[in-house]
Amino acid sequence: MNNEILLGLRKIKGISDYQFGIDITDILFDESENIRIERSKNTKKIRYVYYNNNLMLALRPTNGLFTLSLFSAKKIIENTQAPRLRTIILTEVSDFIRKGRNVFCKHIVNIDNNLRTLDEVIVVNQNDELLGIGRLKIPIPYIKSFKTGVAVNIRKGNN
């Protein structure tokens, strides 16, 4: 591996450590030789991270943090205990979330207390089946106390 690849790998691991924690970084980057970094043609900055040609992470240029893909969400679910990085919702509303609809406060059964507003979150049902990925809209205490309003904006449903 040349220096540019090693520096890029160090950078994405550092961002992942900050955003998700060291344990999630170890899960996502367990086989570094299968990681491919795609850079912007104009700025040469990191844009996408692939694992065996599957999109794993996309770097948001607005805030410098990653967005999860369905592939990386599945990898995290398989290797962590619930509710780590997850929002667990009622099984009855699973079909709506799979279609890409937003999650309301009243549908949330359990949520990772370490999440913050605007964090990436994995949405699962009570059977720990992946329904979608999105961003947390309001703080955890409000989610637990409110019965109305959007808690998670779904970016991608798992059709």
Residue pLDDT, tens place only, 76-112: 999 999 899 999 999 999 999 999 999 999 999 999 9
Q: Mean pLDDT across the stretch 116-139?
A: 96
Domain end call among 38, 73, 108: 73
Supply the pLDDT for residue 5: 82
Domain tally for the chain? 2
Supply the pLDDT for residue 135: 96
Supply the pLDDT for residue 63: 92
Beta strands 103-104; 66-68: pairing state:
unpaired
Expressed as residue numbers, the domain containing 22 is: 3-73
Q: Mean pLDDT across the stretch 132-150?
A: 95
118: which 2 tokens? 């605007």
Kindly report the CATH number assigned to the domain that includes residue 67.
3.10.450.90
Beta strands 86-89; 120-124: pairing state:
parallel
For residue 4, name the pLDDT band (cuts at 50, 70, 90): confident
Model pLDDT for residues 33-43, shown as the tens digit of each residue: 899 999 999 99
The yes-or-no verdict on residue 49 having pLDDT over 80 is: yes
Strand spans (E) along the chain? 35-39, 46-51, 54-59, 66-68, 86-89, 103-104, 108-111, 120-124, 130-136, 150-157
Q: Mean pLDDT across the stretch 19-39?
A: 93
The torsion of the CA quartet 133, 137, 139, 140, rounded to 10 degrees, works out to -40
The dihedral of CA 145, 148, 154, 157: what is its sign?
A: positive
Domain end call among 46, 73, 100: 73
